[in-house]
């Protein structure tokens, strides 16, 4: 059963209750973030990179450690292009089901895989998006304790159930607004259509005046730092 209609409501309920999470960016700015979960994938991620290259867009990728270990060359290709890298756990197990030790190991093992593939220092890879969007206050407490930054979303078109490119594009265009944090998937579930989806979606968003930035840029906006945004 598709639940895409409910995600905007869930966002409105959860966002004020968990302000330490990054849900979106500056509502006064046309800057939005395009993010991809569940990769890197040996076929789908390179297809995504081709589209992003064509439009000179920098995106953010939340990786599974197991997938990085399986496709280190793909991971390096993403990193070498300057895309922002975050963590999605090692094997997509929901964080609330893990013990604190298992959760810490899941994140640290994923950081190690990224370091081995991309030579990115673990201190540079601190953004975490929980698999399935599931977390508890205790999860967030551990993130703070371990100096990770929790990242969620504001636009979720449920592309992982493959409702079709047209449907995913329509859902994004209906929900997008200033500061939106859009989540798509370049992994096993949903990755088959993701390149075709952004090939249609990106030109339409550009036509509407949106500018693509990374998750880190959204954090900087929200923290009111004075550093300029690299991709505006």
Taking only the tens place, the pLDDT of each residue in 118-149 is 999 999 999 999 999 899 999 999 999 999 99
DSSP string, 98-134: S-HHHHHHHHHHHHHHHHHHH---GGG--EE--GGG-
Q: DSSP for 31-53?
A: EEEEEEEEE--TTHHHHHHHHHH
56 assigned to some structural domain: yes
Q: How far apart are CA 78 and CA 168, in angstroms?
A: 23
Would 231 be classed as within a structural domain?
Answer: no
Residue 38 forms part of a structural domain? yes
Select which of 41, 83, 92, 185 is catalytic.
185
Q: Please give the residue range of the domain that contains residue 46.
A: 22-222
Give the pLDDT mean for 79-106. Answer: 97
CATH number at residue 77: 3.20.20.370
* 10 falls within a domain: no
Torsion on CA atoms 90, 93, 96, 98, rounded to nearest 10? -70
Residue 31 lies in a domain: yes
Q: Is 88 a catalytic residue?
A: no
What is the rounded average pLDDT for all residues in the chain?
91
- Is 12 part of a structural domain of the chain? no
Tens digits of residue pLDDT in 6-46: 556 665 666 666 788 999 999 999 999 999 999 999 999 99
Q: Is residue 5 part of a domain?
A: no
C-beta neighbour count of 137 within 10 angstroms: 9
Catalytic residue among 37, 38, 127, 216: 37
Residues 177-191: tens digit of each pLDDT = 999 999 999 999 999
Q: Do the domain assignments include residue 72?
A: yes
Number of domains forming the structure of the chain: 1
Active site residue 185: yes
The structure's pTM equals 0.91
């Amino acid at each position: 059963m598709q639940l895409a209609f409910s995600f905007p409501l869930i966002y409105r309920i959860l966002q004020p209750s968990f302000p330490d999470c990054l849900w979106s960016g500056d509502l006064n700015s046309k800057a939005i973030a395009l993010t991809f979960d569940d990769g890197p994938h040996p076929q789908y991620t390179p297809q995504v990179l081709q589209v992003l290259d064509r439009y000179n867009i920098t995106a953010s990728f939340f990786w599974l450690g197991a997938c990085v270990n399986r496709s280190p060359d793909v991971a390096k290709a993403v990193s070498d292009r300057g895309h922002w890298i975050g963590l999605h756990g090692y094997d997509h197990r929901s964080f609330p089901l893990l013990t604190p030790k298992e959760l810490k190991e899941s994140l640290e093992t994923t950081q190690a895989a990224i370091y081995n593939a991309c030579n990115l220092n673990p201190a540079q890879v601190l953004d975490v998006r929980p698999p399935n969007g599931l977390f508890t206050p205790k999860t967030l407490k551990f993130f703070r304790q371990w100096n990770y930054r929790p990242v969620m979303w504001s636009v979720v078109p449920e592309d992982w159930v493959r409702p079709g490119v047209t449907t995913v594009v329509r859902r994004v265009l209906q929900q997008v607004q200033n500061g939106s944090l859009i989540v798509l998937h370049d992994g096993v579930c949903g990755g088959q259509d993701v390149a075709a989806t952004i090939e249609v979606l990106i030109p339409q968003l550009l036509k509407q005046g949106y500018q693509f930035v990374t998750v880190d840029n959204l954090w900087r906006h929200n923290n009111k730092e004075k550093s300029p945004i690299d991709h505006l």
